Amino acid sequence: MQIHHAIRVLVLILTANAASANEKTWVILNNDYKGSIFLDFQSDKPCLTRPLLEEWGVKSTVLDKLHWDTRACLSADSANAFALQFWYRPDANLLTLLFSPGGV
């Protein structure tokens, strides 16, 4: 019986982890709510793609100066060079982004 109980607990844990991976992330950019999306994260860092940043209103003159990694995500060096800051709260599925003035 203990084996069945352990299997049930394991299945519940795996199901909970799979469900949380499919949750939408709420996004705020420069104090402006942008909606909730399914966003890819690697090591607690969001994958911000050019089309996504364009949709959120980041100016094309800024986007043209940014660099992207092999997954088409904004590179950490580019984010730092343009003073992009972000805070991610996994418990709330909330991503807050702050671009320097004039970037959006």
Residue 11 has pLDDT above 90, yes or no: no
Give the pTM: 0.71
Residue in 82, 88, 54 with CA at minimum distance from that of residue 67: 82
Name the band, by pLDDT with cuts 50, 70 and 90, for residue 45: confident
Residue 3 has pLDDT above 60, yes or no: no
Contact 36, 26 (CB under 8 A): yes
Query: Angle 48-53-54 (CA atoms, 0-180°, nearest 5)?
Result: 150
Beta strands in 1-104 (DSSP E): 25-29, 32-37, 41-42, 45-46, 85-89, 94-98
What is the architecture of the domain spanning 23-98?
A: Roll (3.10)
Q: What percent of the chain has pLDDT over 70?
A: 77
Token duo for residue 34? 């942008």
Residue 3, phi then psi, degrees to nearest 5? -65, -45
Token duo for residue 42? 């690697």
